Structure formats: C-alpha cells, structure tokens
Amino acid sequence: MPVINGPLLAIESSCDDTACAILSPKGDILAERVLSQTGHAALGGVVPEIAARAHLAALPSLMDDTLTDAGLTLDDIAAYAASTGPGLIGGLIVGSTFAKGIAIARDKPFIAVNHIEAHALTARLPALSGETPAFPYLLLLVSGGHCQCVAVRGIGHYEKLGGTIDDAAGEAFDKVAKLLGLGWPGGPALEKLARKGNPSAVTLPRPLLGRPGCDFSFSGLKTAVARHIAPYGQAALPLQVAADIAASFQRCVADIMADRAENAYTAIPDATALVVAGGVAANTELRTRLEAVAERHALRFIAPPLRLCTDNAVMVGWAALETLSARHDAGYGPSDDVPVAPRPRWPLTEIQPPGPVQP
C-alpha cells in the first residue's frame, strides 16, 4: 500500500477536540494526541467561535508534542492531512489551513479528508485486531452531529441507506442528559447513571421501530422524556427516578439502532461486516445490541476502541492514506488537495471517487 516515502501527519478540528496523529505509510500509529476542550461544559454545548480560537491556540504545541512522541521532526513528514468537512466551519478552517500552510511551505502533499469518511474507514485501520474488512460493509455512524446507515462499497463509493429526520443520536443523549440535570457532554454521564436504573421502569416510544427503511427519529423520544420529568417541576429528580429514566431512554435508543441495523442488512445482504463508529459507539449497551444483530446474520462485528470512536486524528490520517492508495491504484500520483475549501456540510454521497487513468 505505501504510496508516500515517509510518515503522514494528520489534524482533526471539526468540533471541540483538537487532535494530531502521525501514521507510517502503512498505517501504523506512530503517535497520537487529543486535547478536549472543557470550557464549553459551563455553556451547555459547543460555542463555535470559542472552539475555533481554542484550536488555533492549541495546534502548534500539540503538533510539536506529537512529533516528539514519535521521535520525529517536520523534516521527516512526507504528507499532511486534515479534516476539511463536515463540521464547525471555524474549526475546519483553522485545522485545514494550519496543515495546508506547513505542506505548502515544505512542498509536501496535502490531503483533504471528509470527517464522516474518516469514521467510516476506521474499521480498516491496521492497528485494530483482526483482518481488515473487505468491501462492502455496513456502517452505523452515531455521533452528536450525525446518525446514518451507510453501505461502504469502496473508497469514495458510499450509499446512504438512511439517516436521522431530526436529532442525531448523540444530540438526543445530550438533550436528555440536560433534562436529567447531568453534565455535558451528556452521553457518558447518562450511561453511567443508567447502570443504576431499571430499563423497563418507564414506558417510552420507539419512533420508526418496525417500519421499513433505515431512517432514524429521536425528537419524539426526547419529548416523551421531558413529559415524564415535567411533574417534578424545578425540583431535583430523585436519584432512582432519574436512573430509571436514563436506563429506559438508553434501552429505547439501542432498540431503535438494532432495528435499523436489521433493515440495513436486508438492503445489503452481501455485507462482510457490521461496523459502528462515532462518539455514541462508545455506549456499551448499543455495542452489545449491534453485536447481537451481526451474530444473527453471521457478520463480523467491528467497533473501534473507545479512543477511536470519538473525534481523533488517527482516523483522519488513515482516511488520507486510503485515499492516496485509491488514487495510486486508479493511475494517479499523490495529487494535492490544497485548493479544496473547508465545507460545513459535505455528505458522503458527494465524495468523488478516484477516476480512471487519464490518457
């Protein structure tokens, strides 16, 4: 696979995590660092302008520390990559411009990476145990900003089978956590509280469950939780009540996800694996339910390690290497993506696969 003659340095800055990673040409992880912004918790969510300024302040030293961890200098880096969309435009501009500037100054290639594609390809990372999944495979992407079911048919070849018609799964977790008086981000706090609760204690709706297709809907579920909490007014919820609501909500989301994964398999029966990625993929109950779906259909189940579920630069670097390899196989060299502008919206279906060899 190696199509560059040295390590690749990747940057991720699409939301509130500033990350840098260095990968070998074959995809071995030489060093990785993630700096999570904590100041947004008091504000109840990510403030884009604050996030962008934090990325700008953190990136130079974060890159230097990552290079030190790898025992390398910028002279050793053969190519650069950065998330260029989708995401918060301020953060995307900061991260991609930072990487582009160094690439231009050192006359090295720059690869623009689609953040969702990076999540989609994480399952093929050599550092993960087991054999790299062959195409096509099913991807369930569940995060704070995205919730979709995708058939991954090849590099640049993606078929969206369904997506959320309102809130993303991670967004629903955060909103329900806020209703329960938990901190932000809400997903980990809600899962911790749910361990103390009874998932059958509260009756909640399961939007779209049992219906054809692979679309998701969580807005009505969030509203139902709010109605259960409303009778308590401004008073703090009793701990057991809050735990039961958290457990019941989490069970609902897992039921919905498993149902949608079943429908996805029906649409792509030649899938080799079921992959779950994105921040919500760190949820233990969700992983367990999806693993059961995969087992029923004799599919390999792949869930990245927790650190690679949330936003990170390792996935960005690997997606860049996969892109370079696909371009090489199509008859192209490591063409430069410096002209590619950051995009707050960049659906997988708009990614252009490498074309045929030009005459």
Binding residues for substrate: 141-145, 174, 187, 191, 283
Residue 117: CB partners within 8 Å, gap ≥ 6? Answer: 158, 319, 348, 351
The amino acid that residue 305 corresponds to is P
User: Which residues contribute to the annotated binding site?
Assistant: 115, 119, 141-145, 174, 187, 191, 283, 311
Burial 251-274 (b: 16+ CB within 10 A, else e): bbbbbbbbbbbebbbebbeebbbb
Classify burial at 291, counting beta carbons within 10 Å of its beta carbon; exposed 0-12, middle 13-18, buried 19 or more.
middle
What whole-number distance in Å separates Cα of residue 275 and Cα of residue 230? Answer: 37
User: Which residues contribute to the annotated binding site for Fe cation?
Assistant: 115, 119, 311
Strands 17-23 and 29-36: antiparallel
105 pairs with which residues across the strands?
none
CB 117 within 8 A of CB 351: yes
Strands 300-302 and 29-36: unpaired
H or E segment and range at residue 289: helix 284-296
CB 339 within 8 A of CB 312: no
